[in-house]
Chains A and B, each alone.
Chain A
């Protein structure tokens, strides 16, 4: 108990966290994608919280997952209107979740990825993580390690390719924005 109390001494002076929402339908890999983000943030030494509602996730209903990381995270849920990123695995899930984004927040959506270049169709979630990763202060090597750890070994190379495909699409954008 004392240990926990010590760990919380910083509660009064926390900088704002990164807020990410991952949205999709049951069976699309929302939970797996969110696990990877949380894992990378944890390895980077951040405080991390991830909140998921999964009771109906296998019945094809909407699934959203919240991840927050930073020096000190309190609520496990991203407050509406404060998400920095909304990552959607399914176009229909964009509008129902748009209100969660802050003004100027970024949508990471399937249309950003050239589906024809994906090694496997089901790796869209990994490619979108790649796109998201370009905007977060977390090392590429850590992302690749977390992606490798999350799926079966036989998909290792394909997942890596999917991740880098997504990441490259955004790195160009980030650079273009910075240049402009």
Chain B
């Protein structure tokens, strides 16, 4: 066995390695479990990776790079693709000059997400090809294949993974091929890239033509595999579901689909014809089952109860038996909570004490909804705290409206809270409004990534810093306060009470670094200090 070449990699790391080996010039994204480590690994491998303010911007940056003839990568979690869906749909029309791969890391079972949407639907809706890896080897191979397919058909490719692919470590033997892509170069293609109706109409027809060609190519594509077995039962499956299904029914014949949009319908028909009974085993929505049935093939699908949550071997066995009795409920695990020394505890104590109606947001601080605080009344999507809080203020009777507060973290605010703040200034509620920005100087929940307001880039090197209080004032908010929330101090409590009573538009920035990154922050600061000293040719105290 070639031991030298066997690596134990997570799916995220494998995708990053493949992108590096394929000569991807730029990777952009926004942190989100389970996608975060793709760009972090890509940067560690020497790739050029960056956190953008949100996924929409990230995809647009990657698209621009691909317009310029480069190979580009955009990586995000499933709900991130909602944010990036606007450029996605029209990028399918424009196509690309180089190559563009969009990784959607879905989270069935919602280990760390607010919903379990199945992003395979996006491939159909936008009309882009989709590959679904089942382990780290395929995460590597399929990333390479996705880049090839994107370059060949000049179209963005969706590489759809799930939590158990992204975060499982499995053995990878990377390919020996290293690509040196063509240098980036601007070639004008006004009709192909400027999507005014007159250009977009033929672009839509071109897209459908490409999809028809790809469907044909997919019929004997090596990304789909038939594992011959017994003739009694045939399983059609994709992604991680293949692993569970194969373990649950080792005797069955299997069609493992890797290139899952546009589907190879003749291959599927041929497989189905070779077995007595055909069952589709897939996680999440019945995407494959619906498409195969719509094509006129009689296949069995999983019972509806398995749409919910992740699949595993036990559930695959139940699906094989068409078992619909209630499933065993595992004993409760200890829920997470705000860290003992978390500065946000002070904030949630105040919100509770002052009986606030709290429009919440996505991050560590969503834990403020749990006991002992239970100080949150809604949590929908990134940035929703602003709009939801304003909507409540507009319609509630004054005695309730004056208690409404929007609460949002620093990274989430930069992601999609800024436009909500503009809305607040533009359409102010009669009772005013209070926005609390929890600024702990990091994207804490996903594992402490940087963002524009930390003043450091993805690799923790100095970058331009977005100053939140200046931004709030520029939006037209006059009452802007920065407070350090400390246990035992009444300062935050007072500021909140005054802001609520003022009836004005107010932004309170509760600023104190996350307790888990205190040591790292010191290191970054010393490094920056030492860099500055070296530039000035001074003797550096930090370096001594």
Contacts and interface: CB of A to CB of B under 8 A. Distances in A.
Contact of A60 (B163, B247, B336): B336
B198 interface: no
Interface in B126-163: 135, 137-138, 141, 145, 163
A38 B8 contact: yes
B335 A61 contact: yes
A56 to B, nearest CB: 4
A172 interface: no
A5 B222 contact: yes
A129 to B, nearest CB: 17
Nearest to B174: A3
Interface string A6-37: 01000110000000000001100000000000
A77 B246 contact: no
A7 B169 contact: no
A3 B168 contact: no
A58 interface: yes
A108 B141 CA distance: 38
A25 B334 contact: yes
B336 A26 contact: yes
Contact of A53 (B163, B247, B313, B447): B163
B137 A42 contact: no
Contacts of B247: 74-75, 79
Contacts of A77: 164, 244, 312-313
Contacts of B447: 58
B8 A48 contact: yes
B243 A48 contact: no
Given A39-B8, A58-B516, A99 B330 contact: yes
Give the interface residue-count category, chain A: 35 or more
B540 interface: no
Contact of B364 (A1, A5, A59, A95): A59
Interface residues of B, number: 53
A80 B330 contact: yes
Nearest to B227: A11
Q: Which of A51, A56, A64, A76 has the most CB of B within 10 A?
A: A76
Most buried by B among A11, A38, A54, A79: A79
Interface string B102-132: 0000000001100000000000000000000
Contact of B170 (A1, A39, A48, A62): A48
A61 B336 contact: yes
Nearest to A23: B333
Interface of B is mostly: loop
B167 A59 contact: no
A60 B331 contact: no
Nearest to B137: A4
B63 interface: no
Contact of B243 (A25, A60, A75): A75
Given A1-B141, A11-B227, A42-B6, A59 B336 contact: yes
B137 A49 contact: no
Contacts of A45: 1, 3
Interface in B222-267: 222-223, 225, 227, 229, 240, 243-244, 246-247, 250
Nearest to B310: A77
A50 interface: yes
B171 interface: yes
Contact of A79 (B8, B175, B313, B338): B313
A47 interface: yes
B250 A12 contact: yes
A51 B244 CA distance: 13
A70 to B, nearest CB: 12
B273 interface: no
B228 to A, nearest CB: 9
B199 interface: no
Nearest to B221: A1
A137 interface: no
A137 B335 CA distance: 35
A13 B337 CA distance: 45
A7 B84 CA distance: 37
Contacts of A53: 111, 163, 167
Contacts of B164: 51, 76-77
A55 interface: yes
Given A48-B8, A74-B247, A96-B334, 8 more contacts: A1-B145, A48-B171, A49-B168, A50-B8, A60-B339, A74-B244, A79-B312, A79-B314
Question: Which 6 A-B pairs rank lowest in CB-CB distance, beginning with the nearest?
Answer: A55-B112, A61-B336, A59-B336, A62-B333, A76-B168, A56-B336
Interface of B: 1, 3, 6, 8, 33-34, 111-112, 135, 137-138, 141, 145, 163-164, 167-171, 173, 175, 222-223, 225, 227, 229, 240, 243-244, 246-247, 250, 312-314, 328, 330-339, 364, 367, 445-447, 516
25 contacts: A3-B173, A4-B173, A5-B222, A25-B334, A38-B8, A48-B170, A50-B8, A51-B169, A52-B168, A53-B111, A55-B446, A56-B112, A56-B336, A59-B336, A59-B338, A61-B337, A73-B170, A75-B313, A77-B164, A77-B244, A77-B312, A79-B313, A80-B330, A99-B328, A99-B330
